[in-house]
Structure 1
Amino acid sequence: MFYGDIMFSFVNIFIVIVFLIVFGSILVAIISGIKKNAKNNAAPVLTVPAQVVSKRTEVRGDHSHTWYYSTFEVESGDRMEFSMPGEEYGLLAEQDLGLLTFQGTRYKSFNRQR
């Protein structure tokens, strides 16, 4: 009986610890997303000359969703990578020059110069 009581207590404690870790991780992710969104909303919308220097995709969820990213280089030499809709990603080519509009870490648009 004594061994069974110890195992029962251990299992209960283990379940509570796992629950707290999972719940805590979800809470941290939610708070982080809210903070990032608030910071982006407070940032000015900027439009700067830029060049597309690279493009990449990331597939998540066993090929169920694809995320699209493009890296832009501005006149100062700084590079910024933004997530963007697939429709706009498909229209960009590396070395394209144009005007990049963004707000914080949020991509708004890219208008190619002709």
Structure 2
Amino acid sequence: MGFTNFDGTIFSLAPIFIGIIFVIVIGSIIFSLVKGIGEWSTNNSSPRLTVPAQVITKRTNTWGGRNDTAASTDYYVTFQVESGDRMELKVADREYGMLAEGDFGILTFQGTRYGGFERKV
């Protein structure tokens, strides 16, 4: 399907829409890369802290798994430090399974990067 231009030539909108979609997709990829590199850089420049903390809550985020694709799950734990501040950190599946809500211990982290949790009885 085309439209008639002022000089009588026919043009199509399809190349314009394809170009717009291309720019949006490439822009999204570049934005994600810049955001990831920024977070990585911020974490690396943050001090590595070890503080007393309590496990407040745990949650998962499952995504994918449609048709013939595999589902993936991200694991998050919310910790509360002595000052009352809370932070949610992404943890590995093995760490997630070993932590229970209400656990007290020593949390190690660097920015938003989880370093470990040593439970105190």
TM-score normalized by the length of structure 1:
0.93
Q: Which runs of 5+ in 2 are unaligned?
A: 5-9
Partner of 1:97: 104
Deviation track 1:86-114 (CA, whole Å, cap 9, x = no partner) reads: 00100000000000000001001000002
Partner of 1:41: 44
Deviation track 1:28-71 (CA, whole Å, cap 9, x = no partner) reads: 00011001101100101000000000000110112611111000
Partner of 1:32: 35
- C-alpha distance 113-23 of structure 1, shift in aligned 2 (>3 A): same
RMSD of equivalent CA atoms = 1.6
Partner of 2:14: 11
Q: Sequence identity of aligned pairs in percent?
A: 52
- Give 3-state SS (helix, strand or coil) of 1:93's partner: coil
The one-letter code sitting in structure 2 at the alignment partner of 1:56 is: R
The one-letter code sitting in structure 2 at the alignment partner of 1:87 is: R
Point out the structure with the larger helix share. Answer: 1
Tell me the matched-pair count.
112
Q: Which runs of 5+ in 1 are unaligned?
A: none
State the structure with more CA Rg. 2
- C-alpha distance 51-2 of structure 1, shift in aligned 2 (>3 A): closer
Among 55, 62, 74, the alignment partner of 2:81 is: 74
Give the deviation of 1:2 after TM superposition. Answer: 6.7
Task: Using the TM superposition, name which of 55-64 and 88-97 deviates more.
Answer: 55-64
Distance (whole Å) between structure 1 residues aligned to residue 2 and residue 71 of structure 2: 50
Distance (whole Å) between structure 2 residues aligned to residue 2 and residue 19 of structure 1: 21
